[in-house]
Amino acid sequence: MKLDQLKTLFGEFDENVRFEHDLKKKNWFNIGGKTKVFFKANNLHELIKFLKKVNNQEKIFTHNNIDFYDDYAHHPTEIKVVLDGVNKVYKVIIRFCSKK
């Protein structure tokens, strides 16, 4: 997704979202590059709202009228680690259900 599209999509998050943000400023190892979107939620409700807006498919290119997408789907272990982290910070109970 192009930067202007991302700004439109995530514009409602105001100061909590930054575009082309340098990740070096966020860690003491001083490593990382620029990210398209950086979001810092103030609470669990904001995090959920932001994640609902994220589309995990990004169009890479079109060839012979066929669109090719990078489809990043979160691995269940990755989801568990994120939710465990949220649970530690916000002291909430999170129940994860998946459709089969």
Taking residues 61-75, report their average pLDDT.
71
C-alpha neighbours within 13 Å on the C-beta side of residue 69: 8
pLDDT of residue 95: 52
pLDDT of residue 70: 64
- Structural domains counted in the chain: 1
The answer to the question of residue 26 being in a domain is: yes
pTM over 0.75: no
Q: 33: domain range?
A: 3-55
Whether pLDDT at 68 is above 60: yes
pLDDT of residue 92: 55
